[in-house]
Amino acid sequence: MPRAIEILDATVRRIERGEMNALEAIDALLAEELTLRENRRVKMALVMARLSAIKTLAGFDFSFQPSLDKSRIMALAELRFIDRAEVLHLIGPPGTGKSHLSLALAVEAVKAGRSVYFGALADIISALAKAEREGVLCEKIRFFCRFALLIVDEIGYLPVIPGGGNLFFQLVNARYEKGAMILTSNRGFSEWGHVFGDPVVATALLDRLLHHATVIQIEGARYRLREHADLVPENIQSKSLIQPSPIPANSQTSRPAAQKRSEPLVCDDRKVAELADEVKKALAAAPAQRKRLLGDERRWVAERDNQCLLPSQATTAPSPGLAPTPSTKA
């Protein structure tokens, strides 16, 4: 009990001066010791999580992003999405606070005792590619599956290396419905084919990543440039990455134009379901590629079930495939 020993002398002196009784002293010593241990645990877990920076929700200026629904972010900070192994997408132009929010949620998760890993997409894919070259891909996927929350930052900033989309799909597939993820991107989902260099892989990824998902789009100004906004050309200023679905004029949910402009930037469940539908349609529209992907997927699922399965996953239902097959059917 290093901290208790450290403050023992001072505590004894306080007892002698009549400032506390023996019971209070024991209480104080144990509280100090527990605080030290908890701080150490959090510090160690933050190191293990490889966060690029320590950010907090308290340090996020919500007034700078009025379109962002603070209550929704605070609800996410209760971490139920981690327990439900759901996916959170934070989408928006650079500098709008996507990484900050994901890091702040990571800090909350670590404080609450959840294991977290944070990495940029390019780094995660390059780690998977290296593991594949060394014949230890399954071990690497299993490593990334160990964390209750995996944060994949910066999707869309750098081109994905050839084959990288397939590798990332294997990881996403292994975590599907088993572990939570936060993904940050400066690209809309419709651009994922371009980002991953393969529309079929992108579609399969989105099929998994939009199921049980929350999508939060940040459209506001760039925080880093807040004092120099006038210097940013208009064509690269913030714009919507996901077009809100058209609201029929006679619909009961229809709102006046002024209100529509400030439509909450959170994609609701209906929007997510629509996106998932679009993804499925895109899959159906590419039968040849789909066949190839299904072949690949069967192999991956078989490999995962045979070699990569964590002991704790052995009894869970297999991942739903893109089509009902004996090995992949939900």
Which residue number, 92 or 165, has a Cβ lying nearer to ligand ADP?
92
Residue 197's nearest CA partner among 168, 154, 239, 176 is 168
By CB under 6 A, residue 175 contacts ligand ADP: no
Which residue number, 107 or 131, has a Cβ lying nearer to Mg ion?
107
Residue list 99-138, contact with ligand ADP (CB under 6 A):
99-100
From the list 89-97, 140-148, 241-249, 311-319, the region that binds ligand ADP by CB under 6 A is 89-97
Q: Which residues contact 100 (CB under 8 A, 6 or more apart)?
A: 55, 59, 60, 223
Write 272-276 long-range contacts (CB < 8 A, 24+).
Answer: 272/210, 272/213, 272/214, 272/215, 274/245, 275/189, 275/206, 275/210, 275/215, 275/242, 276/206, 276/207, 276/210, 276/211
Which residue number, 197 or 220, has a Cβ lying nearer to ligand ADP?
220
By CB under 6 A, residue 224 contacts ligand ADP: yes
| Residue 100 touches which of ligand ADP, Mg ion, none (Cβ within 5-8 Å per kind) | ligand ADP
Count of residues in contact with ligand ADP, rule CB under 6 A = 17
By CB under 6 A, residue 238 contacts ligand ADP: no
By CB under 6 A, residue 13 contacts ligand ADP: no
What x/- string results for residues 278 through 317 when contact with ligand ADP is judged by CB under 6 A?
A: ----------------------------------------
From the list 68-76, 81-89, 94-102, 265-273, the region that binds Mg ion by CB under 5 A is 94-102
How far apart are CB 99 and Mg ion at their closest, in Å? Answer: 3
Please pick, from the candidates 6, 8, 14, 64, the single residue that binds ligand ADP as defined by CB under 6 A.
64
Beta-carbon count within 10 A of 212 CB: 15
Q: Which residues contact 161 (CB under 8 A, 6 or more apart)?
A: 125, 126, 129
Please pick, from the candidates 99, 170, 214, 319, the single residue that binds Mg ion as defined by CB under 5 A.
99
DSSP-derived secondary structure letter, 304: I
Q: Where are the beta strands (DSSP E) in 84-226?
A: 87-91, 116-120, 149-155, 180-185, 213-217
Spatial distance between the Cα atoms of 325 and 59, rounded to a whole number of angstroms: 48
By CB under 6 A, residue 156 contacts ligand ADP: no
Q: Which residues contact 197 (CB under 8 A, 6 or more apart)?
A: 159, 160, 162, 164, 165
Residues contributing to the site for ligand ADP (CB under 6 A): 55, 59-61, 64-65, 92, 94-100, 184, 223-224
